[in-house]
């Protein structure tokens, strides 16, 4: 099969013929139609990810055909029986085991789910990792619901956009931040009520005044801006954290947390049950993932470069014709 092979740190992916790894009868082979990039894939190419192993096939998100039916793949492997956290054996598809940047992938049969019928293969491929992460942090952890005022930082990335779409579908009032006025405008077109530039304190103050404060905050950045997000919270607010692209929290006002009775929830990926719930939610509300760009599989390095520059609004997808 043709695949994009990752051969080492800071090495370009190599489009070449590779063998499908050996597997037992608990696995099924999905003939892929599309795969999507995640920030995780980019970090791996830079060596900024734990337990690296090469050569490997990256890619956690995929849509394809299994036993004559269109399917999507749950990339969350070995979560375990406790819904609160994953097991020590947990991993994400696309490094420890060959992933979806290929014409075929062997995955556990229990991780193969019917594709939401209203989605194209490219749209469905955009869904699994980011959709699962957004669903868990927004609903399982922060218990967001109708009438909540939800603030989502860094709109434009896959998880942030799914959190925006999911919160809107649940009846929440959604507000966003970005350093790009263009991305804020696109979020408003999706249904967000307001947006602020996170590099401009006055813009954020204006956003807080417009909303009257926030009941739920979803953040993937951390860093120096996290304290400002806490200041924008209403009493009893829930803060979900699923990433830290801006680094550790600095100068956080601890009294702000306990005087406001704030709850801070860490979250990443999700359980098998949450993956099924997420797909049901997407199908019920006919949510369509935002796809920014589609590349052919052989042009995967161009897709990686686009992610490096963080210009996208939505998911970057690879079309697989094999």
- Distance from C-alpha of 66 to C-alpha of 315, rounded to nearest angstrom: 24
Question: Which pLDDT value is given to residue 321?
Answer: 83
Question: Which pLDDT value is given to residue 322?
Answer: 60
Q: Would you say residue 283 lies in a domain?
A: no
Are 80 and 103 in the same domain?
yes
- Distance from C-alpha of 76 to C-alpha of 60, rounded to nearest angstrom: 9
Three-state DSSP at 130 gives helix
Are 261 and 294 in the same domain?
no
As given in the structure block, the two tokens for residue 83 are: 């819904």
Are 109 and 189 in the same domain?
no
Q: Which residues of the chain have pLDDT under 70?
A: 322
Q: Would you say residue 160 lies in a domain?
A: yes
Are 150 and 122 in the same domain?
no
- Cis omega before residue 55 (within 30°)? yes
Are 121 and 137 in the same domain?
no
Are 216 and 237 in the same domain?
yes
Are 213 and 145 in the same domain?
yes
- Distance from C-alpha of 252 to C-alpha of 226, rounded to nearest angstrom: 7
Q: Does the model's pTM come out above 0.85?
A: yes
In the block, residue with structure tokens 């957004």: 134
Are 250 and 305 in the same domain?
no
- Distance from C-alpha of 154 to C-alpha of 300, rounded to nearest angstrom: 24
Q: Would you say residue 276 lies in a domain?
A: no
pLDDT by residue (tens digit) across 32-55?
999 999 999 999 999 988 889 999
Look up the domain containing 168 and give its range.
132-266
| Number of compact structural domains in the chain | 2
pLDDT by residue (tens digit) across 135-161?
999 999 999 999 999 999 999 999 999
The CATH number assigned to the domain holding 95 equals 3.90.180.10
Within 10 Å of residue 202's Cβ, how many Cβ atoms?
9
Question: Which pLDDT value is given to residue 245?
Answer: 81
Are 302 and 254 in the same domain?
no
Question: Which pLDDT value is given to residue 309?
Answer: 84
Residues contacting residue 221 through CB under 8 Å, at least 6 positions apart: 153, 154, 198, 243, 244, 245, 246
Q: Would you say residue 150 lies in a domain?
A: yes
Q: Would you say residue 26 lies in a domain?
A: yes
Are 35 and 97 in the same domain?
yes
Are 77 and 99 in the same domain?
yes
Do residues 137 and 239 make contact, with C-beta atoms less than 8 angstroms apart?
no
Q: Would you say residue 279 lies in a domain?
A: no
């Amino acid at each position: 099969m043709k695949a994009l092979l990752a051969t080492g740190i800071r090495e370009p992916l190599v489009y070449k013929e590779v063998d499908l790894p050996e597997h037992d009868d608990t696995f099924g082979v999905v003939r892929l139609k599309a795969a999507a990039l995640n920030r995780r894939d980019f970090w791996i190419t830079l060596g900024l990810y734990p337990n690296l192993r090469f050569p490997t096939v990256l890619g956690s998100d995929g849509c394809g055909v299994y036993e004559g039916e269109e399917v999507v793949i749950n990339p969350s492997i070995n979560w375990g029986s406790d819904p609160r956290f994953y097991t020590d054996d947990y991993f994400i598809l696309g490094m420890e085991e060959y992933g979806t940047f290929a014409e075929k992938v062997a995955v556990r049969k229990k991780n193969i789910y019917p594709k939401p019928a209203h989605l194209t293969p490219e749209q469905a491929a955009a869904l699994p990792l980011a959709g699962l992460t957004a669903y868990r942090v927004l609903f399982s952890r922060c218990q967001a619901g109708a009438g909540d005022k939800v603030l989502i930082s860094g709109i434009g990335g896959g998880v942030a956009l799914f959190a925006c779409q999911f919160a809107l579908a649940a009846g929440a009032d959604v507000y966003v931040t970005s350093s790009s006025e263009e991305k804020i405008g696109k979020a408003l077109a999706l249904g967000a009520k307001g947006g602020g530039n996170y590099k401009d304190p006055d813009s954020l103050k204006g956003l807080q005044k417009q909303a009257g404060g926030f009941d739920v905050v979803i953040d993937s950045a951390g860093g120096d801006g996290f304290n400002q997000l806490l200041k924008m919270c209403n009493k009893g607010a829930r803060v979900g954290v699923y990433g830290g692209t801006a680094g550790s929290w600095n100068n956080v006002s601890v009294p702000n947390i306990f005087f406001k009775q704030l709850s801070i929830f860490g979250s990443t990926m999700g359980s098998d049950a949450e993956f099924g719930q997420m797909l049901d939610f997407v199908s019920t509300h006919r949510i369509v993932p935002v796809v920014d760009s589609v590349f052919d599989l052989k042009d995967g390095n161009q897709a990686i470069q686009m992610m490096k520059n963080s210009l996208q609004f939505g998911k970057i997808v690879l079309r697989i014709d094999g």
